[in-house]
Amino acid sequence: MEWRKSWLSAGLGAMDKLDLPPGIAADVPTVELSGNRQLYMAQHRGVLSYSTELVEINGGSLVVRVRGSNLQLLAMTDTELRLGGQITNVELVG
């Protein structure tokens, strides 16, 4: 698994140097907010913890921590998810 992290890190470094948008790379999570009411994430690797006030999502090389109130999982597939509720904070934990 260590080789995967270094491979991903090298790929992200190359994207930075080439000034490419992150959406074109495989296995790079994408997070989109719609105001403070919905969060969409593509390329997630599962939900680590879930409550109405805190949701932690595995993004591979980072964890996306969403805080708020009345949070709920609106939809989820193997690679995509959508959260709804009153979102007050989104934190990326490396």
Query: What's the burial of 19, exposed, middle or buried (CB within 10 Å: 0-12/13-18/19+)?
Result: exposed
Rounded (5°) CA angle 75-33-93: 90
65 strand-pairing partners = 56, 91
Closest listed residue to residue 55, CA positions, set 86, 34, 28: 86
pLDDT at 94: 85
Per the model's pLDDT, the better-predicted residue between 6 and 70 turns out to be 70
The predicted pLDDT at position 28 comes to 76
Amino acid at 69: S
> Could you tell me if 56 and 47 are in contact, meaning their C-beta atoms sit under 8 angstroms apart?
yes
Q: Give the CA angle between residues 22, 2, 60 to the nearest 5°.
A: 40
Tens digit of each residue's pLDDT (9 = 90 or more) over 27-83: 678 999 999 999 999 999 999 999 999 999 999 889 999 999 999 999 999 999 999
Is the pLDDT reported for residue 10 higher than 60?
A: no
Q: Is the pLDDT of residue 9 over 70?
A: no
Boundaries of every domain in the chain: 26-93
pLDDT at 22: 56
One of 2.40.110.20, 2.40.50.140, 1.10.3720.10, 2.60.40.2000 is the CATH number of 26-93, namely 2.60.40.2000
Average pLDDT score over residue span 1-29: 56
Contact call for residues 13 and 20 (beta carbons, < 8 A): no
